[in-house]
């Protein structure tokens, strides 16, 4: 099963998790990380790291964030590069997560990423999709002549 780390501004992450649990009961491998006013980005990163390790069963973890490019999204993006099968999604809301909940047990992290982006279009995107628009910088020649 895919782990879920919901991380958003204010209390939104916990509100989404509470909404999911009221519908589906207690959720295994799912954590909320709220980015409250006054919380440092360093502490946010530590909290996201803890949540990643608590939710990862080896099948992958999906970070679900509210705003692309904001602090929760950036912290999750940095964390995702250090672990296999991690995806970062932005633009989520409780209704979309409820619709996507059954896929946690059926999909790989990459399949889940693609399906949630399609289901939430046009407001939902992923780190992977953003990287496809802006590929990493690659040198076309060797500056040092090696």
Distance CA 43, CA 141 (A): 40
- What are the C-alpha distances in Å from 96 to residues 45, 52, 57, 91? 25, 21, 23, 10
Please name which of 106, 102, 115 lies closest in space to residue 59, comparing C-alpha atoms: 106
Residue 81 appears among annotated catalytic residues: no
Catalytic residue (choose from 9, 81, 85, 129): 9
How many CB atoms neighbour CB 98 within 10 A?
14
Is the distance from CB of 72 to CB of 8 less than 8 angstroms? yes
What is the set of active-site residues?
Answer: 9
């Amino acid at each position: 099963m895919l782990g879920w780390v919901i991380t958003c501004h204010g209390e939104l992450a916990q509100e989404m998790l509470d909404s999911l649990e009221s519908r589906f009961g207690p959720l295994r491998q799912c954590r909320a990380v709220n980015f409250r006013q006054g919380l440092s980005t360093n502490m946010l990163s530590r909290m996201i790291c803890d949540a990643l390790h608590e939710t990862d069963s080896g099948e992958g973890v999906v970070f679900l964030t509210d705003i692309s490019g904001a602090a929760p999204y950036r912290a999750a993006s940095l964390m995702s590069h250090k672990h296999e099968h991690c995806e970062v999604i932005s633009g989520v809301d409780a209704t979309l997560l409820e619709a996507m909940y059954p896929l946690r047990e059926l999909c790989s992290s990459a399949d889940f990423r693609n399906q949630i982006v399609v289901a939430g279009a046009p407001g939902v995107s992923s780190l992977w999709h953003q990287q496809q628009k802006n590929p990493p910088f690659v040198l076309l020649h060797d500056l040092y002549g090696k």
